[in-house]
Amino acid sequence: MQLYELSASELAQGLAKREFSAQEVVEAHLERIGAVEERLKAFLLVTPEEALSVAEEVDRKRAAGEVLPPLAGVPIAHKDLLCTRGVRTTCASRILANFVPPYDATVVARCREAMLPVLGKTNMDEFAMGSSTENSAFQITANPWDLERVPGGSSGGSAAAVAAREAPLALGTDTGGSIRQPASLCGIVGMKPTYGRVSRYGVVAYASSLDQVGPFARNVTDCALLLGVIAGHDPRDATSLPDPVPDYLAEMRKGAAGLKAGLPQELFGEGIDPAVKSTVLAAVDKLQELGVECEEVEMPHVDYSLPCYYIIAPAECSSNLARYDGVRYGHRTSQPVSDIYDLFAKTRAEGFGPEVRLRIMLGTYALSAGYYDAYYLKALKVRTLIKGDFDRAFEKYDVLLSPTSPTTAFKIGEKADDPLAMKLADICTIPVNLAGLPGMSIPCGFVEGLPVGLQIIGKPFGEAEMLRVAYAYEEAEGWEKERPEV
């Protein structure tokens, strides 16, 4: 078996036993990237020198008998909106095409401290705005299961890289489903932790009350290991919470028997492909066989999640992206300008793609005088009602279960001219972000050769319970062993 085919935990064990070196592991993944990247286009930037340098350090310290972190020498890829010191960070946007951060995001710094070699920066929808990775200013990433289909978004590059064995681990961000939905479409594990569980310092912001960094992995064990690396309080992030970080690996193995799971009927209704629904319900049946008590639950305000999200997220995006003006950093127009306003207008028109411009305009409108109360303030009130639905459900249940995506991966370009259909791709994931809850997607089967994901939603800081359910199901079914033939 090739080294790139091993999971992160298998690589970690082999490295610890000195069955192979970290340099050999990195070289194997760089060769894999070279073999498939032309067809896949998951990476915007590959960093072989940096990855090999860390690998050499790991090998040197291990040979000297030093005690190393558990994942030392296991490669990782980072979504290209995580600031990386000295390495270009573009957010897949022309406005940041040449931006090189002078510092690391906290999650990147923690991966460095854990001695994970960074293979490169992965493609994404521009500024994380999209559900297909078709909105990147530079390239379209393909789904490893079918190169004519999308990998999901906005973290599609990270998901595709992990699924195609270009990287055993990757980080993404999730504002409305941008980790879970591509994980589902690419047949891997992806988790959005509780809002505040993982630092957002150094993460280029889209919607600050919704964004959260999380792991991609090929199995639940690897997901738990990476979550343990990045989770924890960060004083540089005002929204980072000080709750202690559990031993996720130990918690995961406690078993799922005796846990109670609710099935929100609003997430199994209109818009869900019948074949996807039946596949997810088969996974629910398996969990019941494993001792998880499952029953239906009504959450009436969840139906309003999509319109609520598409007022709040663009409003926050309008504010966050105001800093890209051609004055301080990033792209600046080379056209003649008459005044500062002309400079702003030409710079932003050149630098931002159509989806980003659309969301900025929607958000600015929703925040404008005379419309703030009618739209933004009302959306915040609806958000409170949605969170109330979850609070009541979690008085009775340990987790909630649903499809992750209403469909399997759709063809590239299929929904490009249908913005509503594109936004409906996140109908099952958006409510979790609005409530600030943890959620994850695990593979639960296939429909016509394309992966289907089961979404597990947890209480605030309920990552351990989610992992227990996910691990028990994975051990029973083994879907994570399936791999694309890219």
**Known active-site residue 178:** yes
Catalytic residue, candidates 93, 154, 402, 405: 154
Write the secondary structure of 171-204 as one string of H (helix), E (strand) and C (coil): EEECCCCCCHHHHHHHCCEEEECCCCCECCCCEC
Q: Which two tokens stand for residue 254?
A: 């406690």
Supply 410's token pair.
């759709």
| 79 in catalytic set | yes
- Tell me the C-alpha to C-alpha distance, in Å, between residue 74 and each of 82, 158, 161, 222: 19, 16, 15, 11
181 close to 446: Cβ distance less than 8 angstroms = no
User: For residue 455, what are the CA distances in angstroms to 188, 204, 395, 426?
Assistant: 12, 26, 19, 12
Cis amide linkage into residue 154, ω under 30° from 0 = yes
Length of the chain: 486
CB 155 within 8 A of CB 422: no
Q: Write down the catalytic residue from 7, 9, 79, 136.
A: 79
Residues in Cβ contact with 25 at an 8 Å cutoff, skipping those fewer than 6 apart: 3, 11, 15, 55, 73, 74, 75
The closest of 445, 476, 452 to 287, measured between CA atoms, is 476
| Residue among 178, 240, 402, 405 flagged as catalytic | 178
Q: Which of 430, 412, 426, 431 is nearest to 40 (CA)?
A: 412
Tokens read off for 411 = 């063809």
CA separation for the pair 252, 298 (Å, rounded): 28
User: How far apart, in whole angstroms, are the C-alpha atoms of residue 465 and residue 163?
Assistant: 25
What is the Cα–Cα distance from 202 to 104, expressed in whole angstroms? Answer: 6
The alpha carbons of the chain give a radius of gyration, in whole angstroms, of 21
Nearest to 198 by CA among 241, 250, 244, 143: 241
* Residues identified as active-site: 79, 154, 178
